[in-house]
Structure 1
Amino acid sequence: HHELVASALAVAKGKEINPDLQIGAMVSHVPIYSFSSNPEDIMLAEEEMRQRYFFPDVQVRGYYPSYALKEFEREGYQIKMEDGDDEILRNGTVDYLGFSYYMSTTVKSD
């Protein structure tokens, strides 16, 4: 959470310095594909990709996606969020997203 808030603060500061700046983020993108057309493999790949999408989802949208909030709740994660963090995330979204792609992987449900 604090890393995402720091990113949003950096974007906002950059825009304050020069509103014409285009500020983005780069992610190491390693896609996860299903091993087969088995629906369980497909669903597992979708669920695993959420881990890949989490940071960019927050940085681009400016809020936590529902799948992440549900996971926090389900797993009992207690993330310390300060008053005003939601607004910082909303106001510090990136203008573009860059991908660093080196490989992909597959998952099999069994």
Structure 2
Amino acid sequence: MSQSSRPNSPDDQTAMYIRVKRNKITYFVTCVPSETILQIKEKLQELIDQPVNDQRLILMPNREVLDDSKSLADQKVENDAVVALTLRKDDNEFEDVNITRPTDYSPSPDGGSNW
């Protein structure tokens, strides 16, 4: 039996994507489960022109900060996962997670504001 005709195993690297969100922007990043968080940050660096050391990725909704040296699979990041991107500020601290949801701006049923 040849290698190419064997059935797919769970170890096969199936392409997936994650949604990386920051403010009102969502980046759809194509990846495989064995990629490390550092590799994802390198892809983001090309998109947002921010060094990998100034990026922090946080798995939502539990707000778990993802470890650069671990793979997506190691940290249970699944296909279509939502990951928040925060950037390092001038004071060397990371900004707070700021993800805008479409419902944040929906008018109230009576046509007035949400206030």
TM class by shorter chain equals under 0.3
Greater per-residue strand proportion? 2
**Structure number with higher relative contact order (C-alpha < 8 Å, ≥ 6 residues apart):** 1
Greater per-residue helix proportion? 1
Instruction: Tell me the TM-score normalised to structure 2 length.
Output: 0.23
